[in-house]
Structure 1
């Protein structure tokens, strides 16, 4: 083992120096020898033409090698071997010293790790609680938004109840904390959507009710028309038999409701019972048929009897039906105008029903 490897710790402590400095100190005394050797042979020109000169050159080269370069290389290799031996010494001494402090370090380190784990667990728990708190508010806002989807297709009463429930939801900062603004915005959006849904549902219901009422009115008028259609006469009576004498008593008005051109009976009111249908004499029916394309014969009283409620000429004029003629104070219409009167009544009833539905939806 080299001299460096056998140096004790006490010796090192009395000669404080680094390993590099100690290694270089081995080479320091040789620097002057190398300078002298190089100076002695520098710039020397040997006479190679003579044996003496040739031998002198060879001697100089040998000295430069053995006392110069080779000597330094041998010292270098020796020093490196010594330093390699020092590795084992250093490792052993370091292990001995580490064994003194490492148990104490481990004891302190374990305490630190326990505390760090405690801090990490506490932080993880705080993060979990915070995440749950935020998720709770986010879920509550999503529930407010979902009421629109849940209300689709429900009866209007349930949609209105849901709207009232949403309006009463507390979206203040005391409930939603920093999510209050977002919750309030979602509440307003849900209220607007539900209000729109209610309005659309009412419009659809009103339109359906209008359609059903129109069908009912058409069916009722068609039934009245079928009942009032004149039966074929057995024989055509003379024209003079058709005319009613002036002294004939006025036909009593049927016990029906009054009909106005400005308003048709509401669809929600019960339909009036049709008045008894007046039976026409066979001769009068034949006369009406024979004069349908000529002189008007349909009186206001006949129209009222067929419809089941009273009408005036002014009311018919309001519906766009003009009288065909007047005869001794009687307002007369053509027989074919009765169909126009029925169509006008249906149209006016549909308009009134639509206006009524709009008022309900407003």
Structure 2
């Protein structure tokens, strides 16, 4: 149902109640008006518009600018009509406007739909119309104390209701994310139990028997041990932050938690103890670049090659280094690969980081391994 639905229903009740009160005052004072026909006309417009808005706002698809703007315009028009319907001396004496509290309904609608800023803007428009009534009636722009009090109350209503609506919508979104995370965690735990009872036990057995047999079986046992360690790390980690918002999410993700998922028997990940918040889209791109670098290590380096991932976070930039103890690369190897159409480093690593506004430095020499350092300025991460 959502948090907003009860607010819109309460607003519909407010409109009807405010209409009944304003209508009773018009019926009681119509004989005192300068234009009785004008009073009846304003009342008819208020009744018709109340019926239409109660119907219109009931559908979320119609709660958009056309209806919101028309709502505010009709309320302001009925309010301004007081200057022609009422007698100037009665306005000067501080009699209520024709609309009374009914005029606050569009302010509350704007507040519920867009928060305290939009509610305050609508309240400012209604306040200006209230003050203009006195100018049109011939008293200049000097409102009475009652008019001033009404303007302040409408402004406070728009601000407070808008603030409450913002808090409620944010709380609802957090609750939805918490429910999704709980469901994902339960599913992960269920899969972890099944994997532990089957796959992990088989891998552990292969590792132990391979070591006992020696030769090629020992190599198979070593690979099984690495996969067992990697699988244990995977099923033991929490769901990736921002995973359900990908792509283009506005929320932050913990880059350290993403990179920790790559840890295994041959990969060591070092990250700050605390969270490293990065916009989710940028975090996924950096994580994908690291995954591409580790994939290069697995494909192009001998078995047993180790890799180290280091995440550094400071106020100016986020830096991720991927280093291995493999055979290294001769000078110009990356350029040759790009010229030959092999774009793994060029696109999967450099391209991703370049799109984020960062830089990539590659240091390698035969027999000395390879280090890829990816740096993205914090200012560019925020823009991403």
TM norm structure 2 = 0.27
Larger radius of gyration: 1
Greater RCO, CA 8 A, separation 6+: 1
Instruction: Give the alignment's TM-score, normalised by structure 1.
Output: 0.29
Identify the structure with the greater strand proportion: 2
